[in-house]
Amino acid sequence: MKLEQDLGFISSFNIVPERYEISEGIRWSLVRNGFEVGVHDLKHDGKLFASEKDFLESAVRINGYLREWGSVGFRAGAMHHDLDLIHNLEIEYDCSTFDFDPFEPQPEGVGTIFPFWVKPKMNGNGYVELPYTLPQDFTLLVLMRSRNIDIWKKKLDWVVTNGGMVLLITHPDYMNFDDDPVGPEEYSYRHYRALLEYAKKRYAGEYWNALPKEVARFWVKNMVKTPSSG
């Protein structure tokens, strides 16, 4: 949070409710500072979508955390997704997909760098899907051991050229915030800082650093066609 604040950015922190021990004070500290808190899976054990029955049972608890935290967004663990089942969550948006990423367990992407509306089903409300459009930090800097962020910069520039949405998932638990040598599943926070500095300098005055819920509400208001009445 401090790293982003120093550069004038805000973001959403997605928390696993039944795995991470995060106090109410920390959640409220994020919100008070202009950040957002979303619900990230339930246990992050890869079993959320094991069956429809399992998901529906988990959805009851997930909805409880959404209400308790005042959250309107969800993201599944390991980018597992079933957009039909996700209708059962009390959300305004979901972030469990990507435009293109062959390294994920469900490698099929949604093929767009824009938000899109997932129409209502009989068992739930419609919601906005927000796919990530830059490679995850773990894939680029831990799995592939990239020594620079050139791929991030190149993809960011391409998304901007095409008028799309830049959405990146980073993990503070993989970031090494010290100047010590990084561990086998770590990378220096300086890589993330360098990306934010790049975006801020190159596109000064040209971007909207919006929270996911703000993007979702903008999309519903301006891009979603609702049936006419009468």
Count of residues for the chain? 230
CA dihedral 215, 216, 221, 225 (to 10 degrees): 130
Which pTM does this prediction carry?
0.95
pLDDT in tens, 125-148: 899 999 999 999 999 999 999 999
Q: Where are the alpha helices (DSSP H) in the chain?
A: 2-6, 24-32, 52-69, 137, 150-161, 189-202, 212-223
| Pair (75, 34) in one structural domain | yes
CATH number, position 129: 3.20.20.370
pLDDT in tens, 22-80: 899 999 999 999 999 999 999 999 999 999 999 999 999 999 999 999 999 999 999 99
3-state helix, strand, coil split of the chain in percent (to 5) is: 40, 10, 50
In a domain, 123, yes or no: yes
| Pair (23, 126) in one structural domain | yes
With cut-offs at 50, 70 and 90, classify the pLDDT of residue 227: low
Let me know the angle formed at the C-alpha of 225 by 67 and 74, rounded to the nearest 5 degrees.
25
Phi, psi (degrees; rounded to nearest 5) at 169: -105, 120
- Per the structure, the complete domain to which residue 189 belongs is given by 137-202
User: What is the arithmetic mean of pLDDT over 198-220?
Assistant: 98
Q: Of 133, 152, 178, which marks where a domain is finished? A: 133
Question: Is 213 strand, coil or helix?
Answer: helix
> What is the average pLDDT score of the chain?
95
Q: Which of 127, 25, 114 is nearest to 73 (CA)?
A: 127
In a domain, 212, yes or no: no
| Pair (34, 104) in one structural domain | yes
| Pair (41, 155) in one structural domain | no
pLDDT in tens, 155-187: 999 999 999 999 999 999 999 999 888 899 999
Cα–Cα distance for residue pair 37/41, rounded to 1 Å? 13
Domain count, the chain: 2
